[in-house]
Amino acid sequence: MAANKRGDEIVTVGLVGLGKMGKPMAMNLVKAGLQVVVSSATEDAYQEFIAKGARATSDLGEVARADTIILCLPNSDVVRSVLLGADGLAARLQRGQTVVDTSTITYAATLEIGEALAKRGIAFIDAPVSGMEARAVEGTLTVMCGGSDEVFGRVRPLLAHVGNKILHMGGIGSGQLTKLINQLLFDINCAALAEILPMAAKMGLDCARVAEVVNSGTGRSYASEFFVPRVLDGGFSVGYPMQDAYKDLVSGAEIGARLCIPMPVLAAATATYQMALLQGHGAKDKGAMIRVFEDLLGVRFRAAEGPAHVGES
């Protein structure tokens, strides 16, 4: 068993994955006074954590000695490799330890991982997060958890250091399903903005004023509030890259096909997303979906006097 516990309290935490979300989450755990050991594919952030009193290592064996291990990784394949690969964590963990996966991965992969860990006596909870990087820094993420009541109760105080809304959604996989539903609604909103807003520019409306109406009227959404001001400025590099986020649309399509759930609006949004990827916008954020329809109409939805046509920023 891993040492360093005070009763049932989690004291030592290992966190694997120091990307846009994982790094601030790990830093908030350090600030909470926990003994934290971090690991990542690159060592760029290691010195920053060492300076704050945490340990940093590329040795998963050292991470495996923590009471609880948190993963914040890019996709299902990476999570499988880190946990279940030949040199993965699962083979190094002992019965009674806990793995919390805050990555956004597929429902099927989550069930597979949960089953594999259960056979080893390792507790598991899927706990994907929502809120983007700014809320990760603030420690105000929404965390959607799937797992047993007992495991959720044990890790909830730990997750409270990274989020202010910690929800138990049901058994293993329920967190990922809930996150997927939220993401698909967000994706549909982004695709709708991309399709409709260029029409305003095409018809000669003042784009900045149209944006003001949308974000103060019934057409507003989190997607419009986040992306529309950035689109007006021609900025498409703030949010998560589309090429990495596409996995959510694939997951939605797979579930819909397998369970015969018709989702025609999602299918249309997926087509817009695919056109943006095919046109080379994958490294940009979801706001860049608007470029598909801007190019089609020969306009730009930007903060400028009069209609902004192609050739202007």
Q: Which two tokens stand for residue 242?
A: 């589309």
Ramachandran angles phi, psi of 9, nearest 5°:
-75, 135
pLDDT in tens, 101-145: 999 999 999 999 999 999 999 999 999 999 889 999 999 999 999
| % of the chain surpassing 90 pLDDT | 89
pLDDT in tens, 10-45: 679 999 999 999 999 999 999 999 999 999 998 999
CB 82 within 8 A of CB 50: no
The answer to whether residue 31 is catalytic is no
Over 70: is that where the pLDDT of 310 sits?
A: no
CB 25 within 8 A of CB 136: yes
Over 90: is that where the pLDDT of 311 sits?
A: no
Residue the block writes with tokens 């989690």 = 10
pLDDT in tens, 164-221: 999 999 999 999 999 999 999 999 999 999 999 999 999 999 999 999 999 999 999 9
Contacts of 276 (CB under 8 A, 6+ apart): 194, 242, 282, 288, 289, 291, 292
Report in angstroms the alpha-carbon separations of 14 from 38, 74, 112, 308.
6, 17, 22, 50
Instruction: Say how far apart CA 72 and CA 95 lie, in whole Å.
Output: 22
Instruction: Say how far apart CA 169 and CA 163 lie, in whole Å.
Output: 15
- CA atoms within a 13 Å half-sphere pointing along the CA-CB vector of 59: 6
Contacts of 219 (CB under 8 A, 6+ apart): 213
Do the bridges between strand 129-130 and strand 141-146 make them parallel or antiparallel, or are there none, so unpaired? antiparallel
Over 60: is that where the pLDDT of 1 sits?
A: no
pLDDT score at 10: 63
| Candidates 179, 202, 284, 286; catalytic one | 179
Do the bridges between strand 12-16 and strand 68-71 make them parallel or antiparallel, or are there none, so unpaired? parallel
pLDDT score at 11: 78
